[in-house]
Structure 1
Amino acid sequence: MHFARYGLSSAKFNALIHLYMAGDQGLTQSELGNKLLVARATISGLIERLEKEDLVVRKTDPADKRVFLVCLTNRAFALMHAFLPVHNDYMRKVISALDRHEKEALISLLEKIRKGLGSV
């Protein structure tokens, strides 16, 4: 898959894209875990692996010294800038197999799922 060429797994990519969208302020470990729908132990291990690869750093939250923010490194921002166009092209090719009505149905179903996730 296209992830492997960039040294990514789907789990790493999902974490990185959420952090990328969060920008410079990053996310708390809890926030990231909630977005990824994973347990505390799982997110801890993932963050440790990303730290070892110099893709994220943990910083103390200035508003609450007990909380750590997970932020992308410059290396991770560069990786995402290189990878996202490739990923977007890949997804366009995948979606191109669907006709207009199927795409509309897919979007509608994904919206329902997104709303459902917001209520849990």
Structure 2
Amino acid sequence: MSLEFELCLRRPFTLLAHEALLNIYYSASCLKKKAGEFLRPFGLTDVQFNLMMLLKYQSEQDEGLSQARLSSMMLVNRANITSLIDRMEKADLAIRTPAPADRRSNIVKLTGRGKELLAQIEPLYTKEVKRIMAALKLNEQKTVIEMLERIRGNVSEINENTTQDVSLVRA
């Protein structure tokens, strides 16, 4: 279904790049909404689930991850990651302890309850992801990944050049 139809637009897009970008935004919004609907019965948000998945799959043998590392992986600032972990601790899903090597840093791990909840959700989540992505063949999924990576790379390059341009103007 076209974006023009879904949004009930009165006029067609005049710039293909704009239509493509809005399709990415709108699709991301639809996926975020779907994730919220899926996770709500488990008492989780998509951000909490993402943190739990990172702790399970990106830490070595239950060593956990530093709060700073989680912040960079989740693309959120320190204040946001702190409040997120506070909520996760209150729900007994994660625990934060001072890092042995640097007591100014915290290590975050899943609790037993967090591991149990994730074990319950994960098979259902995998099934839902496959159901959503079934609209695309495997080679099409790879193409989507490649295209989105190229767009992100281009945005990073633009940001670097913009930062350099601003530095030149200030000099």
Corresponding residue number in structure 2 for 1:74: 112
* Deviation (angstroms), 1:74: 0.5
Bigger RCO (CA 8 Å, 6+ sep): 1
Q: Percent identity?
A: 35
Q: Distance in 1 between matches of 2:50 and 2:151?
A: 17
Higher strand share: 1
Larger Rg: 2
For 1:14-29, what aligned pairs fall within 5 Å after superposition? 14-21=50-57, 22=59, 23-29=61-67
Code of the aligned partner of 1:80 = L
How many residues in Structure 1 have an aligned counterpart in Structure 2?
A: 120
Q: Distance in 2 between matches of 1:15 and 1:38?
A: 11
Q: Does 2:8 correspond to 1:8?
A: no
Q: TM-score by structure 2 length? A: 0.63
Q: 1:91 to 1:64 in 2, by over 3 A?
A: same
Q: 1:110 to 1:75 in 2, by over 3 A?
A: farther
Segments of 5+ residues of structure 1 without an aligned counterpart are none
For 1:34-45, what aligned pairs fall within 5 Å after superposition? 34-45=72-83
For 1:1-120, what aligned pairs fall within 5 Å after superposition? 1-21=37-57, 22=59, 23-112=61-150
Segments of 5+ residues of structure 2 without an aligned counterpart are 1-36, 161-171
Q: Distance in 1 between matches of 2:56 and 2:123?
A: 14
Q: Distance in 1 between matches of 2:47 and 2:39?
A: 10
* Deviation (angstroms), 1:112: 4.3
Q: 1:114 to 1:69 in 2, by over 3 A?
A: farther
Q: TM-score by structure 1 length? A: 0.87
* Deviation (angstroms), 1:60: 1.7
Q: Distance in 1 between matches of 2:118 and 2:85?
A: 17
Q: Distance in 1 between matches of 2:152 and 2:130?
A: 21
Point out 4+ residue stretches in structure 1 off by more than 6 angstroms.
Answer: 113-116
Secondary structure of the residue aligned to 1:66 is: coil
Q: 1:92 to 1:27 in 2, by over 3 A?
A: same
Q: Distance in 1 between matches of 2:67 and 2:151?
A: 23
Code of the aligned partner of 2:43 = G
Q: 1:110 to 1:85 in 2, by over 3 A?
A: farther
